Amino acid sequence: MLQLCAYTDTLILDEEGIYDPSAFNDRLLLGLKGTMSEAELHLLRSRLRGGILNKARRGELALRLPVGLVRLADGRCARDPDAGIQASIMAVFEAFAATGTVASTVRRLLACSIRFAQLVWGGEKAGTIIWCDYNRTRVLNVLTNPAYAGAYAYGRRRCRQAPDGHVERRKLKPDAWAVVIPDRFTGYVSWTDFEAIQTQLRSNAQSFGRPNAFGPPREGPALVQGRVMCGRCGSPMYVRYGSIQRHRPRARYVCVDQADARRAACQSVPATDVDAAVARLVLELMTPMAIEMTLAIQGELDRRVAQSEQHHQLRITRARYESDFARRRFMLVDPANRLVAAGLEAEWNARLAGLVAAEEEFARFHAETEQQLSADMQHRILSLSRDLPQLWADPAVIDRERKEILALLIQDVTILSEHTEITAHVRLRGGACRSLMLTRSSVAPRKRTPPHVVAQIDQLLEVGDDQIVAQKLNASGIRNWRNGPFSKSQITNVRKGRGLRSHRERRHAGGFATAGELAARYNVTRTTIRHWAQTGLLERFSCGHRHRWYYRVPAGADIVKGYGGPHAKPPKIVPAPICNSSEPGAV
């Protein structure tokens, strides 16, 4: 600014005098004054910041409270006296304790038709409560806010002004919070439970670039996903999916933590072998507890129904109070003042409609609940103790639910794989360990390609690639082990599994090469190689239309490439040089 004023001969004045920025002494004085003013502002800001921090360390700095907490007249914080708001907050913590993930918590709350109390911060309705559906953001805000654990926290976010002028807000980790005072007031959960929730959320998170081995249960078929440890290096084993088999991807447990250093995976085992053995162990452990589990399921269903009914009753009570309040306001208005009376009457009608909607939703929920807890459903629950293995194998039970059951009983599974055997050490939640000896699964004999078909594939590879072989086999009426037509990938798998050479390897063994390989050998382009083949200088071979061409120099000959220009010389075939090591001077 001073430089710009000096260029334009602009004078600067204050209450003490007039200064010319083009003069050295005046410019020096203006610079000192600016630096002192900036230092003074910094000191003032530091003192104000220090006062705020000191007040926050004492827990006396008033912060904005989330919904469900109110500030009393003496400055203390307490729960909101509204029972409906308290129930909407407690439902989040109870659902997360039962499910363990944010997504499952949201699904459970929406299935129970529970509404969330949202506090309006700005606008004409600032400070009022609106009721809306749960979503991921609202649930996550409740689970990560330390105020619900009765803790006073200051400095959870850091604000900085960006170069373009807008303010950037970034959430800090709990270790970086400026002030944390646990158990400052009565919350909805304890501080210990709050820390356990944060630990669970961090373990559920998926890190960028590689999956978290100990994440929440997913929808994949690998049942002990996130609980498998490598018995060789002690690293967690991750899930890798392969081809589709019986409409399900084939899963494997792979140890890849040190794969870059050793240039290969530490070990890899089929997930079906380990999952089947662990499932059998879990069913053996659960059979004596089947009666208790049946009673627990019945009690859990009853508790969910009672909780949902309580939320519906609170909603109806709130709607009835609002309709009665609107009716009393309408009755107190002067009948002659039709403008005011019409507005109050419309408000009363809207409140009555809300009450009717709440009662109809409760009736619909009650009917659905009676249908779910019918006599047939109760009979199926009571038969759980006798049909536990059948229930486990029921297609209606999704893999995520099976994983949640396994997570309640199993801490981790350590796998040590040999050539034909797999040793799985299962550590249970109580600390007990079980060792399982498994036989590595192999391809069933009925799924193997017959030897005569393999021999025919070997012969057809002399004349064509995998696609050509599959077409010729299908044209001959030969079918695979599924009694279906062969595909290119199946021919490739048979060829690799039986150690057969590919069509390209066979062509290379016969002296053929691709256009790119010959172009690199003679230092010409691929177009030149194709031109030599068209003029008869090279032999060429292709297994079919739109397939790769292979080229070969005639036996006992070589090609000398030509050159262009006024003295152009075409390429020609010459006898191949013969190197006899017995002659003098031979290399």
Interval 162-184: pLDDT, tens: 777 788 888 888 888 888 889 88
Predicted pLDDT at 260: 52
Question: Which of 223-227, 257-261, 386-390, 561-565 tops mean pLDDT?
Answer: 223-227
Q: Which residues contact 344 (CB under 8 A, 6 or more apart)?
A: 326, 329, 330, 333
**In this model, does residue 222 exceed pLDDT 60?**
yes
CATH of domain 66-205: 3.90.1750.20
391 vs 164, higher pLDDT: 164
> Can you tell me the mean pLDDT for 575-583?
59
Instruction: Return the pLDDT at 546.
Output: 64
The answer, yes or no, to whether residue 148 has pLDDT greater than 90, is: yes
Q: What single-letter DSSP state applies at residue 211?
A: -
- Long-range contacts of the stretch 306-311 (C-beta < 8 A, 24+): 307/91, 307/94, 307/112, 307/114, 308/112, 308/113, 308/114, 308/365, 308/369, 309/362, 309/365, 309/366, 310/87, 311/84, 311/87, 311/88, 311/91, 311/112, 311/113, 311/114, 311/115
The mean-pLDDT minimum among 31-40, 328-337, 505-514 falls in 328-337
- pLDDT band, residue 385 (cuts 50/70/90): low
**Residue 209: count of CB within 10 angstroms of its CB:** 5
Query: Mean pLDDT throughout 109-133?
Result: 84
- Domain borders along the chain are 2-57, 66-205, 217-442, 445-508, 510-575
The pLDDT score that the predictor gives to residue 208 is 41
> Which of the residue ranges 118-122, 263-267, 498-502 would you say has the lowest mean pLDDT?
263-267
Query: What band does 209 get if pLDDT is binned at 50, 70 and 90?
Result: very low
- Expressed in angstroms, the distance from the first to the final Cα of the chain is 80
Residues 215, 204 contacting (CB under 8 angstroms): yes
Specify the DSSP element, H or E, that contains 236. none
Report the pLDDT averaged over residues 278-303: 68
Check residue 580 and give its pLDDT. 52
187's tokens: 């919350």
SS3 332: helix
In single-letter form, the type of residue at position 122 comes to G
pLDDT computed for residue 452 by the predictor? 86
% of the chain with per-residue pLDDT over 70: 86
Q: Band the pLDDT of 377: cuts 50, 70, 90.
A: low
pLDDT at position 388 is 67
Per-residue model confidence (pLDDT) at position 93: 92
The residue among 448, 482, 463 whose CA lies nearest residue 544 is: 463
Across the range 136-164, mean pLDDT stands at: 88
Considering only CA atoms, which of 535, 208, 255, 221 is closest in space to residue 398?
A: 221
Residue 101: count of CB within 10 angstroms of its CB: 18
**Residue 143 pLDDT level (bands cut at 50, 70, 90):** very high
Question: Who wins on pLDDT, 543 or 379?
Answer: 543
Burial of 528 (0-12, 13-18, 19+ CB in 10 A): middle
* pLDDT at residue 144, rounded to an integer: 92
Task: Say what the pLDDT of residue 145 is.
Answer: 92
**Longest Cα–Cα distance in the chain:** 132
* Residue 294: pLDDT over 60: no
% of residues, the chain, pLDDT over 90: 5
